[in-house]
Amino acid sequence: MTNVISIFYFNQQIKAVTEPLPGSIAYATQYKLPVKKKYEGLNIIDFFLELVPRSNREIWITKIKNQTLFINGKPATENTIVKGGDITQHTSEPKVEPWVNTKIELLFSDEDIIIINKPAPLPMHPSGRFNKNSLTEILKLAFPEEDLKIIHRLDANTTGIVILARNKKIVKSIGEQFESKSTQKTYLAMVEGIATEDYFNTNTKIGIQKTAGGGRESNDDGIDAYTEFKVLERFPSNNTTLLEVKPHTGRTNQIRLHLASLNHPIVGDHGYKDINYFKKNPLTYTSDCLFLHAWKLKFYHNNKSFAIEAPIPEKFLN
């Protein structure tokens, strides 16, 4: 496949590999995990409880008894102590992956890039309970002749613009723009509460370390983050506000955390509304997605300023 891709061809290929969903048939997954130095000295069960906090001790004891948990190619025991550099291996029970939304929309393509409008819920990469039902794996199935690389990321429950590179040169040139913060990103967010100011901002710092459940938290010793907000419309009848959001830094979960810190959590964002949600529901994606949309993006492509816009999801318009 070269140069411009037609919308018809793109839709045809996506449909062919997602009806049914690739993860809808039960399968077992084999995991091979190296032991980092910081875990050295842990009992192997405690090691996996650290690595997979949503699991429990009985799961790993059962694997050991069934001899389906290995370390350096040999069956582990309940007394096994891990060392840095060890290789662990185990096989999951056959499972069906949760449903995801595969209505992926083609916005633009040329010989160097493909730009899509990502639906939600749809994880970008294999993670947790999602492997085959992820954007990267679906694209591999749909376009096996391509070597598409995702240049930037969106949360699984966030919709909007995603750029895919079709060659290494573009990964570097556009990737550097994201790293240097020279891209201009604009999001739409529907938030809880009525914002009193038409324009506001925050520079709350964000912690580097993940919380126990995989989220982030504000931290005075964290990294700088700056976000601007503009009120587009207020909805007193349901106590919400529609915002235009411009993140000037690209920290993980920046918009979600900043809005929660201002007491305006994004509608549908249980993770930053309830600080214990991540602990109770790690890697949980539901049809009740975030009201957060990567709406507009400006960057340089082929030595020219390039602007793209993703259609606003219907849920924002109802």
DSSP labels, 232-258: EEEETTTTEEEEEEEESS--TTHHHHH
Please give the tally of structural domains in the chain.
Answer: 3
Q: Are 260 and 214 contained in the same domain? A: yes
Q: Are 140 and 258 contained in the same domain? A: no
Q: Helices 7-18 and 135-142 meet at what angle, rounded to 10?
A: 110
Q: Helices 57-65 and 44-51 meet at what angle, rounded to 10?
A: 130
Token pair for residue 110? 């040329």
List, for residues 175-197, the tens digit of each pLDDT value: 999 999 899 999 999 999 999 99
Amino acid identity at 70: F
Residue 76 inside a domain? The answer is yes
User: Where a domain ends, among 73, 91, 109?
Assistant: 91
Q: Name, in order, each residue with C-beta under 8 angstroms of 120's C-beta and a sequence gap of 6 or more.
A: 101, 156, 157, 158, 159, 285, 289, 290
Q: Are 106 and 239 contained in the same domain? A: no
Q: Which of the pair, 222 or 63, is modelled with greater confidence?
A: 63
User: Where a domain ends, among 180, 204, 230?
Assistant: 180
Q: Are 79 and 105 contained in the same domain? A: no
Averaged pLDDT for residues 126-133: 90
Residue 169 inside a domain? The answer is yes
Q: Are 192 and 119 contained in the same domain? A: no
What is the 8-class DSSP label of residue 175?
H
**What is the reported pLDDT for 287?**
43
List, for residues 258-316, the tens digit of each pLDDT value: 999 999 999 988 777 655 544 444 444 444 578 999 999 999 999 999 999 999 999 89
- DSSP helix, strand, coil percent of the chain (3-state; round to 5): 25, 30, 50
Residue 144 inside a domain? The answer is yes
Residue 308 inside a domain? The answer is no
Q: Are 111 and 151 contained in the same domain? A: yes
Q: Are 131 and 2 contained in the same domain? A: yes
Give the closest residue to 239 by CA, choosing from 275, 268, 264: 264
Residue 292 inside a domain? The answer is no
Is 110 annotated as catalytic?
Answer: no
**What is the reported pLDDT for 1?**
46
Active-site hit among 155, 220, 224, 269: 155
pLDDT band at 215 (very low <50, low <70, confident <90, very high): low
**What is the reported pLDDT for 129?**
85
List, for residues 224-252, the tens digit of each pLDDT value: 889 999 999 999 999 999 999 999 987 87
Residue 316 inside a domain? The answer is no
Q: Could you tell me the residue range of the domain that residue 175 belongs to?
A: 1-25+97-180
Amino acid identity at 106: L
Query: Residue 114: which CATH number?
Result: 3.30.2350.10
Tell which phi-psi region holds residue 205, choosing left (phi > 0), alpha (psi between -120 and 50) or beta.
Answer: beta
Q: Name, in order, each residue with C-beta under 8 angstroms of 109's C-beta and a sequence gap of 6 or more.
A: 3, 4, 5, 10, 115
Residue 206 inside a domain? The answer is yes
